[in-house]
Structure 1
Amino acid sequence: METLLSVIIIFGLLVFIHEWGHLYFAKRAGILCREFAIGFGPKIYAFKRNETVYTIRLLPLGGFVRMAGEDPEMIDIKPGYEIGLVFNTSGKVKQIIINNKSKHPDALVVQVEKIDLEKQLIIEAYNEDGERIQYQVDEKAELVQDEQATQIAPWNRQFGSKSVGQRALAIFAGPLMNFILAIVILTAFALFQGMPVDEARIGDVSPDSPALEAGLQKNDDVLAIDGTPLDTWESMTEVIQKHPNEEIMFEIDRNGQELAIPVTPAERPGQLGDPEGFVGIAQPTEFSLVGSVVFGFTQTYTFASMIFEVLGMIVTGDFSLDYVSGPVGIYNYTGEAAAMGIFVLMQWAAALSVNLGIINLLPLPAMDGGRLIFIGLEALRGKPIDPQKEGIIHFIGFALLMLLMIVVTWNDINNFFM
């Protein structure tokens, strides 16, 4: 239950902040955002505020912001259709009743001759007396079909009507918010837990750890290991990681007294699957507001570098599915992080946020990066790519991503039971 709750909170936060970035900058650009969704599939909960419907959906595999103009409008009214018109106090059409007109006795029933709900915002129609009349349509008018209302999207409210810069910012804002979230989480971590200091000094010592059994204590200054002088935490951990299940000699300074203490590091899987040694000590910390903010930025950069290192393996041919995890693997790792405490879980959440931001910026169809590529090509060509062709490419890309998700998930399940 603790793992499930942690997963729901973390993934809900990561997806929410990502999609909120899209929503905020799209609205700033004047784009009509029809829906803000967390998850995919059937709706579990929904409410409408202003022009946007906010939904939580069944499958927790991401989220989306549905902007007007990105997809073809579902309701197409052609000449000859009989519709009902409801007017506002200014005499403009505020509702267009597609069917079930009998449920709207106040609606004026007309036969459409010409309709433009994008640019001119007019309806030319024949009334019951056979007269052809032009009606002005309010820019926030609604189409009502099967008693479901959908706001019209004039051209100036559609995604495609905005400048290249406005559209690019609305797309880039999602990943950007994930990087900002990571910085905020890591800054908060450093403020509450202390900012790690890159010194060869022992912070906390874990219970039942090789370090505790050997007699290492908090604030011991590590002078050398096996005769190798050390002055940074990174250089110390590198030596420890190279000697799993091998005795090494710590030369320490404890309150001015130099001691030699043998320690045998235990073994655990490293970042790339190879075994590495660990002794169960934490990095020393100090508390500083400015230092915490700097740590938030630098640690976010470190996480990003590690992710790019793995992505680079795809180019060099050293890539393996064992280096990536799908929903099952992430669920298990989140449970392990939650069991280690809130501060480990915060770091894990920050790493996932950076990962989500980078993956979304990859130049792949259906990803934010792929959409930015198309916007960039439009800027170079001076005209947009054919929307139908772009839609097909994104659809194929999405299908391939779902296939990859299935393969990675199957690999996670196999690893879980091995």
Structure 2
Amino acid sequence: MIETLITFIIVFGVIVVVHEYGHLWWAKRAGILVREFSVGMGPKIFAHQAKDGTFYTIRILPIGGYVRMAGWGEDKTEIKKGQPAALVVSTDSENLVTRINLSDRVELDNAVPILVTDYDFEQDLYIEGEVFGEMKRFAVDHDATIIEEDGTEVRIAPLDVQYQSASIMGKILTNFAGPLNNFILGLIAFIVVVFMQGGVANQANIIGSVEKGTPAYSAGLRANDKIMAVNGQKTATWSDAVTEIQSSEGKTLDLTIEQAGTEKEVKVTPKKVDGTYLIGIRQSLKTGFWDKITGGFEQTAYMFTAIGRALSQLISRPSLNDLGGPVAIYQMSGQAAKGGIITVISFLGMLSINLGLVNLMPIPVLDGGKILLNLIEAVRRKPLSQEKESIITMIGAVFMIVLFIAVMWNDIMRAFIR
């Protein structure tokens, strides 16, 4: 139980951090203010503000994360008319407001109490209201922070640092960066796995090792022997040899092998193990440095293809049984943990690539949906109105929430009831 939980938190946490960091890095390069970088959801348990104004937070529920970009979606600072606030005003000649406190959980020294009547944190940068019975107007610093009602402190978002003000290419790169980072993480994971395994599978028809006490060992087969043919059927690759051996149905095989440069005929009778006919030989490995690097790329490409094929089948034949949420991932984390560190890293690589591909689906709220809106903006040469974009995003959000609940319920039913 503990092992499964720790594996789940580490694997999911690494994938989320890497994904969201991609958005963070490119957003800053595009001139977009990142107000918050969060790992997890729900109430925050840790917060730190960097010099550039971004708050880094860890929240209590380890089921995701987000990058809160200025001006994106519903990222608005709302202050109701008559709402009490406290202002920290600089003591220099400019008398600019540098902090605005809307929370009753936080107290600021030497703050000016105000009942807010009007404000603008996007263009004119001011806040005004009643101070000790007198109406006053204060200029607000471009980089001022605002402490929201839940105690989260973020920078205000003038128009020049909002998402909408970035170039189209800057927006596309910002939205694509999350999935891209997941693909890079998946590649690194599979390269690490290949190195830990000592090499990558050699597709040549060369025996890597022979287990003692098995039919192959008893018949005289040894490491580095080449399987040239099985029952007269040429076997140029390892896959050819395996296919012929496993389709034998237990009948004695006539193997043509090359051993120490000499061809010879050998008879071997396969043994049935867990429903599969085996003779006790293992595939050889390519152990060169570049072979291992190439092997990592090949495993990544294979995973891309397999997941892409699964997604296409899911689109053509939708089924909740083909989807998995946090409950399913938690269960798979437990299975991976039992398999050891190599299995855990392989699982991380698979899950990272899966998350990257799913996020590129053109559904509003997902990164693919945002990129689609960016492309529409490029074709129209102007963005959609805030109202239309909000409606589209809301539809996507509702769809994803309903799907999430349905998948969670299905996972629970499969795990604990059926």
TM-score, with length taken from structure 1: 0.82
Aligned pairs, number: 407
Measured at CA, do residues 337 and 391 of structure 1 come closer, stay the same or move farther in structure 2, by a change above 3 Å?
closer
Q: In structure 2, how many angstroms separate the alpha carbons of the residues matched to 1:321 and 1:112?
A: 50
In the TM superposition, what is the alpha-carbon distance from 1:377 to its structure 2 partner? 2.0
1:184-199 to 2 correspondences below 5 Å: 184-192=188-196, 193-199=198-204
The amino acid across from 1:16 in the alignment is: V
In the TM superposition, what is the alpha-carbon distance from 1:101 to its structure 2 partner? 12
Q: Does the 8 A contact of 1:210 with 1:265 survive in 2?
A: no
2:173 is matched with 169
Q: In structure 2, how many angstroms separate the alpha carbons of the residues matched to 1:352 and 1:290?
A: 25
Gaps of at least 5 residues in structure 2 are: none
Cα RMSD after superposing both structures: 3.6
Q: 1:179 aligns with which of 174, 180, 183?
A: 183
Q: Does the 8 A contact of 2:364 with 2:393 survive in 1?
A: no
1:137 aligns with 2:140: yes
Measured at CA, do residues 132 and 374 of structure 1 come closer, stay the same or move farther in structure 2, by a change above 3 Å?
same
1:267-286 to 2 correspondences below 5 Å: 267=274, 282-286=282-286
Kindly, what percent of the aligned residue pairs are identical? 33
Q: List per-residue Cα deviations over 1:344-389 (Å, max 9, x = no partner).
A: 4333322222112111111223322122222222222322252321
The amino acid across from 1:17 in the alignment is: V
Q: Does the 8 A contact of 1:247 with 1:262 survive in 2?
A: yes
Measured at CA, do residues 405 and 101 of structure 1 come closer, stay the same or move farther in structure 2, by a change above 3 Å?
closer
Measured at CA, do residues 331 and 406 of structure 1 come closer, stay the same or move farther in structure 2, by a change above 3 Å?
closer
Gaps of at least 5 residues in structure 1 are: 269-275
Q: List per-residue Cα deviations over 1:269-316 (Å, max 9, x = no partner).
A: xxxxxxx76667543212223333322222211111111222232355
Q: Does the 8 A contact of 1:203 with 1:285 survive in 2?
A: yes
1:273 is matched with none
TM-score, with length taken from structure 2: 0.82
Secondary structure (helix, strand or coil) at the match of 2:363 reads coil
Measured at CA, do residues 290 and 403 of structure 1 come closer, stay the same or move farther in structure 2, by a change above 3 Å?
same
2:360 is matched with 361
Measured at CA, do residues 162 and 226 of structure 1 come closer, stay the same or move farther in structure 2, by a change above 3 Å?
same
1:272-311 to 2 correspondences below 5 Å: 282-311=282-311
In the TM superposition, what is the alpha-carbon distance from 1:85 to its structure 2 partner? 3.1
Q: Does the 8 A contact of 1:214 with 1:262 survive in 2?
A: no
Q: In structure 2, how many angstroms separate the alpha carbons of the residues matched to 1:61 and 1:101?
A: 26
Measured at CA, do residues 123 and 56 of structure 1 come closer, stay the same or move farther in structure 2, by a change above 3 Å?
closer
Q: 1:225 aligns with which of 230, 237, 241?
A: 230
In the TM superposition, what is the alpha-carbon distance from 1:169 to its structure 2 partner? 1.1
Q: In structure 2, how many angstroms separate the alpha carbons of the residues matched to 1:15 and 1:343?
A: 20
Q: In structure 2, how many angstroms separate the alpha carbons of the residues matched to 1:103 and 1:315?
A: 52
1:242-253 to 2 correspondences below 5 Å: 250-253=255-258
Q: Which region of structure 1 is more displaced relative to structure 2, 358-367 or 4-13?
A: 4-13
Q: In structure 2, how many angstroms separate the alpha carbons of the residues matched to 1:281 and 1:369?
A: 46
1:21 is matched with 22
Q: In structure 2, how many angstroms separate the alpha carbons of the residues matched to 1:207 and 1:66?
A: 59
2:99 is matched with 95
Q: In structure 2, how many angstroms separate the alpha carbons of the residues matched to 1:277 and 1:348?
A: 28
The amino acid across from 1:384 in the alignment is: L
Q: In structure 2, how many angstroms separate the alpha carbons of the residues matched to 1:252 and 1:143?
A: 76
1:67 aligns with 2:72: no
2:393 is matched with 391
Q: Does the 8 A contact of 1:267 with 1:278 survive in 2?
A: no
Measured at CA, do residues 278 and 66 of structure 1 come closer, stay the same or move farther in structure 2, by a change above 3 Å?
farther
In the TM superposition, what is the alpha-carbon distance from 1:230 to its structure 2 partner? 1.1
1:371 is matched with 370
Q: In structure 2, how many angstroms separate the alpha carbons of the residues matched to 1:310 and 1:209?
A: 37
Secondary structure (helix, strand or coil) at the match of 1:203 reads strand
